[in-house]
Amino acid sequence: MTDTAITILGAGVVGLCVATELTARGQRVQICEKAPEPGTQACSWWAGGMLAPFCEGETAEEPVVRLGQEAADWWEAQGVPVVRNGSLVVALGRDRNELTRFARRTAGHRTLDAEQLAQMEPTLEGRFSKALHFQEEAHITPRAALKTLWQNLQSRGVQFASATPVSGRIIDCRGLAAQDDLKDLRGVKGEMVVLRCPDVSLHRPVRLLHPRFPLYVVPRGDGVFMLGATQIESGERTRPTVRSILELLSAAYALHPAFGEAELLEIGTDARPAFNDNLPRIRQRGQRIYVNGLFRHGFLLAPAMARQVAEFICDDIKPEVMDENLSEW
Amino acid sequence: MVEFYGTAVSSRLMLGTAQYPSPAILADAFQRSKAGIATVSVRREAGSDQAGADFWALIKELGVAILPNTAGCHSAREAITTAQMARELFDTDWIKLEVIGHTDTLQPDPFALVEAAKALCADGFKVFPYTTEDLILADKLLDAGCEVLMPWGAPIGSGLGLSNIYGLRTLRAQFPDVPMVVDAGLGLPSQAAHAMELGFDAVLLNTAVAKAGDPAAMAEGFAGAVQAGRLAFEADPMEPRDMAAPSTPVIGKAFLS
């Protein structure tokens, strides 16, 4: 237990998770954040909220798959409703080979035939002859989850203020804004769409594989769906393009034509912070610890990152994702 | 060594830079492939205010020649504007000209391609046009001022290999002195070797490496195949024949078995 409070910069998903882990271990924490509540200032506002470590293993490296498996239990422990229905992966007829490839590169799935798929998701009856079911995966509603963490912290007496402190330990969770200090951090633009479509009912996230336009659809309940997400090598945080939104919408239409009559609720865009290997990092420089580079895995990896930061500060356990290469400093 | 527009390039393998799991893996793939040229798309990444600059800086760090491309352009006008932007961004007059005519097959639009090639060559660009294996189109592109041709092997990302071997062979024979790069459609090193055996000067690929389970290993595999295919072409391979050709005489053998 320290006398001076630890200051956390940024109240995106990483900052809030780190604050949660530190306060749970009895540390005094204050959060430096300009905005009065969770919102568009953080890229986690636009997240899909899939807790899908096994699916991510298709392209992500091993630490993502392993550390991501902590996420579902962690979120549930914070009082966030976690839907544990697994997730589905499908491909259209002519892209059937993509499903074979995806299955080969991932673990934790079983293959469903058309009938089993129809039982699980009646909406998709007759649309796909085969699907992969990742039973252990889950999903949450990101914006509600951010609000829950924020409220939990407030009720534990954590102060949220916009003034930057001049002394004491700082944990920098500013995401892409930390580019001023972390020169090897880059932005990867993402675009997403929110729809209301009462004609479609899904109980779990569905990924539609396509060689060029992969799509995921996450059910938010009450007929609301989030479609995501593009991945463009650009640090631009605004300006969703027609082409990207066309891709997302046409992929959704291909998943189920009823999406054609959906109500368009929201189009969002932002840039995710990432390092060159798209893996997250914890870095220390003097009194400041940086937690960054969670890429497209904010809600999936923030719990494990937060745990490691807290173990480092409270128990002096060196995090496995701690950066060894400090030549930059 | 192969020369494009007077610039000698040490490797006959060119790699695209899209769709890798991460920039770190992309860098590994380049290292193991020893590719001499990297193609980079700018249309979609540019955004406003050079938003793609971080990624492009990583590409520049690869230490290979950069061939910006106009991927994602569907009209001559769009391609020309994109080429002009690429010239500013990468400080090069090289441009791989792609004008897509059909979104599903990503087949080039031959008419818009010639139109854009004419305008860009007149503007001082050194144009590498992504084209089909069509002879007449090739002729028009050379007329427009192109000094390199990039015929497709098969549709982009299909991994089908050389889908019209006769057409490619004819194209090669028709323009023996024009540097030609088989671009797109390759899925396996054996297909790249085949293209090189036909006498093409280089191959360009992206998806086959980027989407492999181990992109860096696949890149090295392609590098070996390109080298093997080129050596075979230069070695003047034997002509195939229908009958076995015994390596020792049959008639007049001293001992009959």
Q: Do A289 and A175 sit in the same domain of this protein?
A: yes
Q: What is the pLDDT of residue A2?
A: 47
Q: Do A205 and A307 sit in the same domain of this protein?
A: no
* A168 pLDDT above the threshold of 90: no
Determine which of A68-82, A162-176, A299-313, B161-175 has the lowest per-residue pLDDT on average: A162-176
Q: Do A241 and A199 sit in the same domain of this protein?
A: yes
Nearest CA in chain A to B214: A59
* B55 pLDDT above the threshold of 70: yes
- Coil, strand or helix: which one is A256? coil
Is B47 in contact with A234 (Cβ distance < 8 A)?
yes
Question: Interface pTM (ipTM) of the complex?
Answer: 0.74
* Cα of A25 to nearest chain B Cα, Å: 35
Range with the largest mean pLDDT of A93-97, A263-267, B21-25, B99-103: A263-267
Whether A286 is covered by a domain: the verdict is yes
CA-based radius of gyration for chain B: 20
Query: Would you call B149 an interface residue with chain A, using a CB distance cutoff of 8 Å?
Result: no
> Whole-angstrom Cα distance, residue B22 to residue A5?
37
Whether A208 is covered by a domain: the verdict is yes
Relative orientation angle of helices A142-155 and A13-24, to the nearest 10 degrees: 40
Within 10 A of B133 (CB to CB), how many other CB atoms are there? 23
Q: What is the pLDDT of residue B42?
A: 82
Q: What is the pLDDT of residue B72?
A: 86
CA-closest candidate to residue A18, choices A322, A312, A238, A307:
A307
Nearest to A233 among B21, B45, B211 (CB): B45
> Whole-angstrom Cα distance, residue B162 to residue A107?
34
Strand order in the sheet with A281-285: A159-161, A29-32, A6-9, A170-172, A288-292, A281-285
Boundary residue ending a domain (A274, A306, A323)? A274
Summarize the annotated binding site of B as residue ranges: 157, 184-185, 206-207
B2-235 CATH fold: TIM Barrel (3.20.20)
**CATH assignment of the domain containing A216:** 3.30.9.10
% of chain A residues with pLDDT over 70: 96
pTM (2 d.p.): 0.82
Catalytic residue among B96, B118, B126, B140: B96
Q: What is the dihedral of CA A22, A25, A28, A34, to 10 degrees?
A: 20
* B89 pLDDT above the threshold of 90: no
Q: Residues of B with CB below 8 A from A60's CB?
A: 21
CA-based radius of gyration for chain A: 20
Nearest to B51 among A236, A243, A278 (CB): A236
> Which of B20, B22, B39 is the mutation pick for testing A, counting most A CBs within 10 A?
B22
Q: Do A43 and A190 sit in the same domain of this protein?
A: no
CA-closest candidate to residue A68, choices A20, A16, A107, A25:
A107
CA-closest candidate to residue B178, choices B144, B212, B207, B155:
B144
Whether A322 is covered by a domain: the verdict is no
- Is the distance from CB of A192 to CB of A244 less than 8 angstroms? no
Nearest CA in chain A to B106: A212
CA-closest candidate to residue A212, choices B192, B72, B29, B129:
B72
**CATH assignment of the domain containing A176:** 3.40.50.720
The tens digit of pLDDT for each residue in B15-41 reads 999 999 999 999 999 999 999 999 998
Q: What is the pLDDT of residue A329?
A: 40
Q: Do A124 and A150 sit in the same domain of this protein?
A: no
- If interface means Cβ-Cβ distance under 8 Å, which residues of chain A face chain B? 59-61, 104-105, 186-187, 189, 211-212, 232-236, 238-239, 241, 243, 271, 274, 276-279
CA-closest candidate to residue B32, choices B55, B64, B8, B60:
B64
Number of domain units in chain A:
2
Q: Do A226 and A305 sit in the same domain of this protein?
A: no
Whether A73 is covered by a domain: the verdict is no
CA-closest candidate to residue A302, choices A10, A75, A46:
A75
Query: pLDDT category, B253, cuts 50, 70, 90?
Result: low
Can B253 be counted among the known catalytic residues? no
Domain of residue A253: give its range.
Answer: 87-135+186-274
Whether A228 is covered by a domain: the verdict is yes
Within 10 A of B212 (CB to CB), how many other CB atoms are there? 17
Q: Mean per-residue pLDDT for B125-131?
A: 96
Is B213 in contact with A105 (Cβ distance < 8 A)?
yes
Q: Do A150 and A269 sit in the same domain of this protein?
A: no
Nearest CA in chain B to A214: B19
Q: What is the pLDDT of residue A258?
A: 93
Whether A297 is covered by a domain: the verdict is yes
Q: What is the pLDDT of residue A166?
A: 67
Beta-carbon contacts of A166 under 8 Å, excluding residues fewer than 6 positions away, are: none
> Whole-angstrom Cα distance, residue A121 to residue B61?
48
Is B44 in contact with A239 (Cβ distance < 8 A)?
no
Q: Do A207 and A229 sit in the same domain of this protein?
A: yes
Within 10 A of A88 (CB to CB), how many other CB atoms are there? 27
> Whole-angstrom Cα distance, residue A52 to residue A207?
11
Mean pLDDT, chain B, rounded, equals 90
Domain layout of chain B by residue ranges: 2-235
* A1 pLDDT above the threshold of 60: no
Q: Do A203 and A289 sit in the same domain of this protein?
A: no
